[in-house]
Amino acid sequence: MKIISMDVMSTGVIAYYVLVASRDGLFTPIVSDGANAGYSDPVPQAVILTGIVIGFSIQCVMLVGVMKLARDNPTLESNEIEKSNTP
């Protein structure tokens, strides 16, 4: 449940960033008819794509950790795992 909640939170942050960054009347820097047209900034798109890739890789690492915990412990209750692994 913690991994799913982290994924939902990450998706919400990305969706909020896209909502804030979107504006009407801007053109892409590659395709434009006017010489003095307002261009959209490509940096936010690159930041969002990087955030998606980093979020996916973190989720994969967390899932590998859960797989290791499931192999080593008979339960996935975090309280029980902490009790059995504390010195």
Give the model confidence (pLDDT) of 35-51 as tens digits: 666 666 778 888 888 98
pTM over 0.75: no
With CA atoms as reference, report the closest residue to 44 among 7, 18, 26, 24.
18
Q: Is the pLDDT of residue 17 over 80?
A: yes
With beta carbons less than 8 A apart as the criterion, state whether 29 and 39 touch. yes
